[in-house]
Chains A and B, each alone.
Chain A
Amino acid sequence: MKIKAIVIDEEGLKRTIIRLAHEILERNKGSKNIILIGMRTRGEFLANRIHKKIEEIDNSKILLGVLDATLYRDDFRRRLKQPEVSVTNITFDINEKDVILIDDVLYTGRSVRAALDALMDLGRPNTIQLCVLVDRGHRELPIKADFVGKNIPTSINEEVKVQMKEIDEEDSVYLIETPDEFKTT
């Protein structure tokens, strides 16, 4: 792994999460109608942390769910490796709610498209707002995030590697060079 830059460190991630929590509360005028849904895998951990922060700031209880949108993906026929599916855990009604969809990196927009379809099959939310830790550009679909931790302009041969203590060794975001075998151009 060739690291080109460290984009967010542990302290930086803490501050970013606090800011995102405040922005979500500000935009929605409090936490009354919002629910948080994290996208597996790292979006789930990010959602847990933002959830904890919002409950702390607003002193309220907010519903939190996990979404696995694998079954809605559009790249089954093009991938070499079969993606592993895991369970969606949304045990509450999302009808008429303001859903904050949380993911780690926004790139082509295709996984967000899959998540939107998956959410629509669960009900009819009032709004869906997208919150991402990193927006690295290169969109292939007309999708835009409502809340962004950090905008990182990248080249197509770079990768954004988000690490979270829940499954990785540390809290960090690195910009790395894509290993040759995965290069597209």
Chain B
Amino acid sequence: MSLESKHLLGLYGTSREDIELILDTARTFREVLERPIKKVPTLQGKTVVNLFFEASTRTRISFELAQKRLSADTINFTTSTSSTKKGETFKDTVRNIEAMKVDMIVVRHESAGVPQFLTRISNANIINAGDGTHEHPTQALLDMYSIKEKLNKLEGLKVCVVGDIAHSRVALSNIYGLTTMGAKVSVCGPSTMIPHSLIKLGVKIYNDIDKAIQENDVLNVLRIQLERKAGDRIPSLREYRNYFGITTERLNKFNKEIIILHPGPINRGIEISSEVADGPYQVILDQVTNGVAVRMAVLYLLGTKN
């Protein structure tokens, strides 16, 4: 069994078999993370470069940890210290890194399509760690893993992604991945944050959060991204909180169990109240642990593929 593609660029077009293989393989690595020695020698001698052209703490640390736990050699490259600052083009930077004989590249960039572009100028396996507002496949995979861990299935589940959908790569990857796995995906947020083209993907749109809570098994609550000018699309953070914030009072209106995911970092008191973020329904820290296992699975499956 191996993946169809030699890269992980996005979940658009990724087959159900491939997603299942990644999620099953991640279970193995989840067990490795519980061992006293949380390291296996599988990717010994492989070199992975983490090319981060955009700020990231969680994803970069998660990838780096995943690489180290598979015994790969890792190099971190961030724009603040790079030669792109000195005027080198993106293509030249990548060609130079490639000339140092690397096997895999994990890339994050503020422009959509950069990982795709990399596959044309490099022979390495490319893993997308977030490209603009396009896709963030490993985040969606770890979301799916965390949902499956709690509810034992994905098929037939109703999952609602809440927040600024138009500017979220997490939302798009979730929609593609979960739909492929047979879940029913919907979105909820202010109209200014929801692209209506989503209807073409078969996605239901809610503008009323109470209705979304009532009708779904899982809520994936996105962060209000102030750095992506979220403030321009809502009157105020307080108003967003009043209409869309996930609070205990809202959840208690309906006597039902619901799983709450959040990709982090959390804005406590805005999109989610502290009580909910630390409450019984959330799996936010499980998501972080599962993230390392899922990324190990992706690195393993791509790095050992012939």
Contact = CB atoms under 8 A, between A and B. Distances in A.
Interface of A: 68, 71-72, 76-77, 79-82, 84-89, 117-118, 121-123
Interface size class of B (residues with CB under 8 A): 10 to 19
Contacts of A72: 40-42
B1 interface: yes
B60 interface: no
Interface stretch (B7-15, B30-38, B279-287): B30-38
Given A117-B41, A121-B39, A122-B36, 13 more contacts: A71-B32, A71-B41, A71-B42, A71-B300, A77-B306, A82-B301, A82-B305, A84-B1, A87-B27, A88-B28, A118-B40, A121-B36, A122-B35
B2 interface: yes
Contacts of B41: 71-72, 117
Given A117-B41, A121-B37, A87 B306 contact: no
B122 interface: no
B25 interface: yes
Interface in B267-301: 300-301
B71 to A, nearest CB: 10
Interface of B: 1-2, 25, 27-28, 31-32, 35-37, 39-42, 300-301, 304-306
12 contacts: A71-B28, A71-B42, A72-B40, A72-B41, A72-B42, A81-B2, A82-B1, A82-B301, A85-B300, A86-B28, A118-B40, A122-B35
A80 B306 contact: yes
A46 B74 CA distance: 40
Contacts of B39: 121
A119 to B, nearest CB: 11
Contacts of B300: 71, 85
B2 A71 contact: no
A82 B31 CA distance: 20
Contact of A82 (B27, B32, B36, B306): B306
A84 B27 CA distance: 12
Contacts of A71: 28, 32, 40-42, 300
A72 B32 CA distance: 12
Nearest to B41: A72
Among A80, A82, A86, A118, max chain B CB count under 10 A is at A82
B36 A123 contact: yes
Nearest to B43: A76
A76 B2 contact: no
B37 A122 contact: yes
A93 to B, nearest CB: 9
Given A81-B2, A82-B1, A85-B25, A76 B35 contact: no
A74 B36 CA distance: 22
User: Considering the complex of A and B, which 6 residue pairs feature the smallest CB-CB distances, nearest first?
Assistant: A82-B2, A71-B40, A121-B37, A71-B42, A85-B28, A76-B304
A121 B69 CA distance: 13
B178 to A, nearest CB: 24
Nearest to B40: A71
Among A72, A77, A80, A121, max chain B CB count under 10 A is at A121
B42 A76 contact: yes
A87 B35 contact: no
